[in-house]
Amino acid sequence: MKMKIFFICLFISSVVINATGIDDIQRAVNNITESKPPFDIRKAQYTKSFGISNEDNIIPDRMYDDFQLSQYVHASDFDDAGLSMDFKIKVNNHIIGVISCGGILESESYSLVTIDANYKIIDAIEVSVSCYCPNKVYAKQFRITGDGIILINRVIPIDKNLVLFQNFSQFTGYITETAYQIDDNGKFVKKSERKCTGTRVFTKQQLENKSLWDLIH
């Protein structure tokens, strides 16, 4: 028999809401208006937020300052950085939500989290990273298709030196796309990975306020 799964997507932002444990997730899932896929965070507008705690540190809460995603701090290490659920999307037997947490380094990141029928987290995966420098640029970005496929695009520098969000003008790299599905046990399963572009120069002007998908086509 298939297990009923709640699928929660978590986003890091500047909203701080105090809440704790499984009760937080249950309250969020039960009170946020349900949306339908496909899901694009850039076009979504939320009306409610509910605090989510990360007591077992299952949820990735890294806030980065470089495109290589190697230099970061944890949101949980700061009093003013919290996780909160902003959206809920139903896909087949899964409930998908979007949650925000404090962007203290002008950095934002999203994670997807699966939760069982008892509102306990099963699995988690980081799916989006962006930064305001001062305009918004993406290092990693996600979307959910109408049939529930999670597509993650990432722009990857080939330079061994760190390409910092706050002081880059351009770098050489390429964009990848990785596809995930959720299995019956609520685990994220990687289905495919491919390079979407050849190696080329990405300028700050090209990346500012642009979706990575726009740079692929």
pLDDT class of 180 with cuts at 50, 70, 90: very high
Task: Give pTM, 2 decimals.
Answer: 0.87
pLDDT, residue 104, reads: 57
pLDDT, residue 17, reads: 37
Q: What is the DSSP string of the chain?
A: -PPPEEEEEEE--S------HHHHHHHHHHHSPEE-SSB-TTT---S--EEE--TTS-S--EEESBTTS-SEEEGGGSTT--EEEEEEEEETTEEEEEEE---TTSEEEEEEEEEETTS-EEEEEEEEEEEESSSEEEEEEEEE-TTS-EEEEEEEE--SS--BTTT-SEEEEEEEEEEEEE-TTS-EEEEEEEE-S-SEEEEHHHHTT--HHHHH-
CA distance 79 to 102: 9
**How many domains does the chain fold into?**
1
Contact 139, 154 (CB under 8 A): yes
- Cβ-proximal residues to 63 (8 Å cutoff; 6+ apart), any chain: 12, 72, 73, 74, 75, 81, 103, 104, 105, 107, 108, 109
Question: How many other C-beta atoms can be found within 10 angstroms of the C-beta atom of residue 14?
Answer: 14
pLDDT per position as a tens digit, 106-121 = 888 888 888 888 888 8
Is residue 2 predicted with pLDDT exceeding 60? no
pLDDT, residue 172, reads: 98
Tokens of 36: 């339908």
Q: Please give the mean pLDDT across all residues of the chain.
A: 84
Domain range for residue 74? 5-216
pLDDT per position as a tens digit, 63-86 = 899 999 999 988 877 766 678 788
Report phi then psi at 102, rounded to 5: -65, 120
